[in-house]
Structure 1
Amino acid sequence: MDFRISKVRHPKEKLYGTVMLVIGTLVWAAAIIALVAFAMMHSLAIIAMIVLYIAILWFISFVGRALVRAYMIGHYVMVGEQQFPHLHKMVAEGAAALGMKEAPQAFVYNSSGVMNAMALTLVGRTRYIWLTSQLIDADNDDQIRFVIGHELGHHAAGHLGTAVNLLHLPAYIVPFLAAAYSRGRELTCDRVGFIVCRNLQASRTALQMLACGSAKLNAQMNPTAFEAQEHKVPSIAGFVLHIFSLYPRLTRRVEAVGQFAGKLPPKA
């Protein structure tokens, strides 16, 4: 499959991302115009002070990311050809399948029982993937490929880009919009995870594993039964929880990745 993120991106991410981009662009444009008008009527020293505050905030962010990177390198286990080569190969192959010029650097860390994974950007080599020890213990190889693919999806889809996130920033004032956009992004990355994994059962059970969290029960999971729980979610309470959440319900994600897989041609 010739990977193009535009064809994989979930419709909800496209919709809410466009709305946030429009709102953000308009707000930033209005702010710049107001700043210029203010500068023409008042002392430039005030404008210089505002610019200084912005620079200070950027510097604080830079230092914070540098400290996180230093901690990561000193406390987490870097995945490579000499360290967990099977995981390194999964990341490299997944990145290649998505047309990425360079695979993000992966790290494994002691999660103290928490099952999760994360994509992030820091200073220096900007693209990273974190995999928790609990996730590695609980998942089989195809499930791990799905999780890696999901995190690679955040990088491939540009979710962590500084420019686009800065443009979106003013739109966070709109209630529930940013959360809806976040949920759309997760659905996009689930699709990317399936493309990397190309095993529907493993993709669905990898999502279900986040709810189950048991290595012992891993092979016994029934994603169809789990998906059926979606229809038992109380409508009003479920809706309230949904609009505040940054992630879709896991039952819905299992259902959605199955629907997406049904639209793709069989793996050659």
Structure 2
Amino acid sequence: MQFNIRAVRHHKEENYGNITLIVGGVLWFLLLVSVLASDHPVLGLVMLIFYGLVIWCALAAARALLRAHMFGHYVMVGPQQFPHIQAMVEEGAKKIGLLEAPTAFVYNSHGVMNAIAIRLIGRHRYVWLSSAIIDADDDEQLRFVIGHELGHHVAGHLDDLMNLVRWPSNLVPFLGAAYSRARELTCDRVGAFIVQDLEVSRSALQMLACGSAKLNGQMNSAVFAEQEKLVPPIAGVILKIFSTYPRHTQRVEEVGNWLAVQNYAQSAAPVAAAA
């Protein structure tokens, strides 16, 4: 099956992505115009560049420190260290067309279930997997989680330039959170594309809510998705607009609907779903 991120990308991510690019670009432009229109435009421009360089250096230093912490405290996955996880990362990356598989790390999360896609110094890609999510998930569910994180890489969510352009759009209330939620839905689709299994995709997402390895095999994803109907409408909307992640119930329902429509066909066209 041929992977095409443009076809898999959720329509809400496309919409909010375009809006954040436009809003961010306009706000950067207005900032530049205000500086040039000031009484001392040259001084203003120099100060703008100076503060930009200071922020860039601070971020670069933070990334270097984080990279040092990663190699010193986390366990790097490779052919001789958790080779079954390494195989999942390599197979997933190949399936979605990444030229180089990210380097994966396992870290002690002290019971917190999480997985992170990250880029630090240079263009090298990383995937972090918490010990808790590995303990709770079976191998196929873990493959979905890895696929979700690979989705952030292949979808361009970690592109520094695009994120810089979009950054001022976070000043618009709720816009940044809406874009973040839509990106998560896209990555759920990438994970589902990699595993090609409806129940695995839904149960992997449900495990984020359940978190119990003991109950893993007893989960009923369809029943869990039905809980969405019990969410109080007004309170649900309030929680949603402040959150950077869709509700677990919505994610289970949405990825199930998307895979059902795909029916494992050769092409993957996005369908509407709640974010």
TM over 0.5: yes
AA paired with 1:89? A
Within a 5 Å distance, the mapping from 1:18-167 to structure 2 comes to: 18-38=18-38, 41-42=39-40, 44-124=42-122, 126-167=124-165
Q: Which residue of 2 aligns with 1:13?
A: 13
Partner SS state of residue 262, structure 1: helix
CA RMSD across the alignment: 1.4
Deviation (angstroms), 1:163: 0.7
Aligned counterparts of 1:264 and 1:238: Cα–Cα separation in 2: 29
Contact kept? 1:150, 1:192, Cα under 8 Å: yes
Deviation (angstroms), 1:267: 6.9
Q: Which residue of 1 aligns with 2:235?
A: 237
Q: Which has the higher contact order (CA 8 A, sep 6+)?
A: 2
CA gap 1:204/1:47 in 2 versus in 1, 3 angstroms: same
TM-score by length of 2: 0.93
Aligned counterparts of 2:25 and 2:111: Cα–Cα separation in 1: 42
Q: Which residue of 1 aligns with 2:167?
A: 169
Q: Percent identity?
A: 55
Deviation string, structure 1 residues 161-214 (Cα, Å, up to 9, x no partner): 101111111111111111111110000000000001111111111110010100
Q: Which residue of 2 aligns with 1:216?
A: 214
AA paired with 2:99? K
Deviation (angstroms), 1:138: 1.0
Gaps of 5+ in 2: 267-275
AA paired with 1:195? F
Aligned counterparts of 2:32 and 2:105: Cα–Cα separation in 1: 40
Contact kept? 1:79, 1:107, Cα under 8 Å: yes
Q: Which residue of 2 aligns with 1:189?
A: 187
Deviation (angstroms), 1:48: 2.0
Gaps of 5+ in 1: none
Aligned counterparts of 2:44 and 2:241: Cα–Cα separation in 1: 40
Q: How many residues in Structure 1 have an aligned counterpart in Structure 2?
A: 266
Aligned counterparts of 1:216 and 1:233: Cα–Cα separation in 2: 27
TM-score by length of 1: 0.96
Aligned counterparts of 1:97 and 1:121: Cα–Cα separation in 2: 20
